[in-house]
Structure 1
């Protein structure tokens, strides 16, 4: 009888184990929510990707396609995104969400769709804003695809 009670208890324990393990896993609504992404008039931050193990990021921004030739929209995005990054800030802009890359490197099509890029690196004494030549015609401020 003692063996039977132990066997029943062991079977009950084994059969309830997957259920208890599933109950201990955090449910989606219990997981911490990510902070809302920045946005402004004519632009929206899509994602920020960390550069290796540094604390530096490349920010991927979507510009409203109807306003992608308005330099003020780019400036407003930079002002909001880079204000908390006093030593390094890199921002890339696209006007088609499907072209915004999920990784730091990107395809030729994604490069061709990029509208602008901003880089600020205090240590390297670099601060540069460059636009696609289809956005600005000044060759000193643009890159061609």
Structure 2
């Protein structure tokens, strides 16, 4: 809406003088930014990267740990011990693959969310938690396949 200005010029109602915001941009060429959202964005990126690095280290450790569970089958030859080497071998073989798959899926989803400027740190944290769960389940299953007798 325009109105006549006392000195003969035309003035636009609602617009301020210098530095007024029109359609999201400031008149003097600077772009208006919200400081709070930018800080949260930086914190999300930092937290996501830290959690992904910790998740990578945890996945590497869990994968090696699952493979080392095969050492427990060395006692299967002792008298009185029973082992389900088929199940244990399957867990020792597929466990590290599953750990790597869980981490890779979490990392890809996290990076995609970061690119789309959506909150990503919960995905990285969930991936880290799932890596730990896969390791614990593999440990329980392999531990259950070896029965030590007297």
TM-score w.r.t. the length of structure 2 is 0.29
Whichever structure has more strand as a proportion of its residues is 1
Larger CA Rg, structure 1 vs 2: 2
Whichever structure has more helix as a proportion of its residues is 2
